């Protein structure tokens, strides 16, 4: 049971100290506590046997920006003091509302934006790290954050075919390393995953690495957005959830983030699909026992695939 402290969540050093001395995350459910605990601007009220009645809880749908929701997700799912690898650090926007010393943050990217390196004094920065081949030991992190380019327009063989050209260049710089790609995998470039499959392929390869470097019980926080590609609805979040199940990653929580502004459309002829103004944060737990949401209804009964 958690309550929000104020409208601007911040993870705090105090919460970190609380965790290190056996804080909220380690306490048995329903047990008594003498102090309130604060984590990321989310404060657990004084607990009593059987809990407290409140409507002030972290909810699954938010209107707003990444930074605010990300801080809340950390507060709910990642104990302060945890060792966290953000392997697609980008501009570090996710961390804007998180205190410098709340976590041990390892910030890496295939191409770190120069302005971010060193901007957060306690963060450890590493440039030129591909999230599909991490230089970390097995089971060495408590949490991994993954937010790769989420749309097929950012995976093109020529830069002038990529999304975010001209006046939208800032978008391309923020959401990708701005380079064309031949696609991953063996064999002829023409046989490698393309378009939407290139997006999912990156999530798949990075997910395998995440499953390797996370300790058991560790959390994987993934940002993604569905897309319409070649006029087909592609539910990226479903593909990631079901694909990650095969890696022993259980989708423990799902957050929907709704843009506060209206999405603009240039050259609309006839609208076929709803224009997406929402994205997802998925929280996976690495666990020994698999829990499946991949089902086959065709045989009449209920067949769980994992
Ligand atoms: C959507 S942005 C991440 C934004 C970031 N979460 C933030 O808060 O600013 C995607 C990032 O993934 C990086 N990237 C693309 N391919 C990558 C790869 N194979 N390995 C690591 N980073 C990659 C890009 O350079 C870009 O910075």
For 226-248, the pLDDT digits (tens) are 999 888 999 999 999 999 999 99
**Contact 183 CB / ligand 1 (< 6 Å):** no
**Residue 64 CB contacts under 8 Å (≥ 6 apart), including other chains:** 257, 258, 260
Strands 227-229 and 37-39: unpaired
**What pLDDT band is residue 50 in, cutting at 50, 70 and 90?**
confident
pLDDT at 34: 39
The answer to whether the beta carbons of residues 291 and 83 sit under 8 Å apart is no
Nearest CA to ligand 1 atom 13: 88
pLDDT at 51: 85
Q: Cα–chain-centroid distance for residue 90? A: 13
Residue 177 CA, closest ligand 1 atom number: 25
Between 41 and 304, the more confident residue is 304
Between 55 and 284, the more confident residue is 284
pLDDT at 100: 94
Would you say residue 35 has pLDDT above 50? no
Output the pTM of the full model.
Answer: 0.79
Lowest mean pLDDT: which of 83-92, 96-105, 210-219, 262-271?
A: 262-271
Buried b (16+ CB within 10 A) or exposed e, 175-214: bbbeeebebbeeeeeeebbbbbbbbbbbbbbbbebbbbbb
Ligand 1 pocket test target in 106, 110, 134, 202 with most atoms within 8 Å of CB: 110
Burial class (CB in 10 A: 0-12, 13-18, 19+), 94: buried
Q: Where are the alpha helices (DSSP H) in 35-178?
A: 66-77, 169-175
Cα(56)–Cα(1) distance, rounded to whole angstroms? 9
Mean residue pLDDT of the chain comes to: 80
245-257 pLDDT, tens digit each: 999 999 999 999 9
**Contact 130 CB / ligand 1 (< 6 Å):** yes
Ligand 1 centre to CA of 126 (Å) is 13
The answer to whether the beta carbons of residues 11 and 99 sit under 8 Å apart is yes
**What pLDDT band is residue 217 in, cutting at 50, 70 and 90?**
very high
**Contact 155 CB / ligand 1 (< 6 Å):** no
pLDDT at 180: 56
Buried b (16+ CB within 10 A) or exposed e, 217-246: ebbbbbbbebbbbeeeebebbebbbbbbbb
**Contact 164 CB / ligand 1 (< 6 Å):** no
Look at the block and give the residue holding tokens 């997802």.
Answer: 280
112-148 pLDDT, tens digit each: 988 999 999 999 999 999 999 999 999 999 999 999 9
Would you say residue 60 has pLDDT above 50? yes
Ligand 1 centre to CA of 284 (Å) is 19
Would you say residue 107 has pLDDT above 50? yes
Cα(116)–Cα(109) distance, rounded to whole angstroms? 11
pLDDT at 163: 55
Percent of the chain past pLDDT 90, that is, above it, reads 53
**Contact 93 CB / ligand 1 (< 6 Å):** yes
pLDDT at 24: 34
**What pLDDT band is residue 203 in, cutting at 50, 70 and 90?**
very high
Backbone φ, ψ for residue 223 (5° rounding): -100, 135
Backbone φ, ψ for residue 168 (5° rounding): -95, 15
Cβ-based neighbour number of residue 260 at 10 Å? 10
């Amino acid at each position: 049971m958690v309550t929000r402290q104020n409208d601007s969540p911040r993870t705090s050093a105090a919460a970190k100290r609380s965790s290190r001395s056996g804080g909220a995350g380690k306490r048995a459910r329903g047990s008594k506590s003498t102090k309130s605990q604060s984590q990321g601007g989310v404060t657990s009220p004084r607990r009593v046997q059987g809990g407290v009645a409140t409507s002030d809880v972290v909810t699954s749908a938010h209107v707003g920006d990444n930074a605010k929701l990300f801080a809340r997700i950390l507060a709910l799912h990642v104990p302060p003091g945890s060792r966290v690898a953000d392997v697609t650090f980008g501009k570090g926007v996710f961390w804007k509302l998180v205190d410098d010393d709340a976590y041990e943050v390892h910030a890496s990217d295939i191409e770190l934006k120069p302005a971010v390196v060193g901007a957060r004094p306690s963060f450890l920065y590493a440039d030129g790290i591909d999230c599909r081949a991490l230089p970390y030991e097995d089971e060495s992190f408590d949490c991994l954050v993954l937010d790769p380019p989420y749309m097929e327009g950012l995976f093109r063989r020529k830069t002038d075919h990529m999304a975010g050209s001209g006046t939208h260049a800032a978008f391309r710089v923020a959401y990708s390393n701005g380079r064309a790609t031949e696609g991953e995998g063996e064999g002829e470039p023409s046989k490698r995953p393309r378009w939407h499959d290139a997006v999912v392929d990156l999530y798949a390869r990075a997910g395998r690495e995440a499953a390797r470097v996370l300790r058991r019980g560790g959390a994987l926080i993934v940002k993604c957005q569905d897309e319409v590609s070649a006029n087909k609805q592609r539910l990226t979040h479903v593909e990631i959830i079901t694909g990650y199940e095969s890696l022993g990653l259980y989708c423990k929580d799902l957050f929907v983030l709704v843009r506060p502004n209206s999405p603009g459309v240039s050259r609309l002829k006839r609208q076929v699909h709803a224009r997406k103004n929402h994205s997802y944060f998925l929280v996976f737990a690495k666990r020994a026992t698999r829990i499946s949401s991949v089902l086959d209804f065709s045989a009449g009964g209920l067949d769980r695939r994992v």
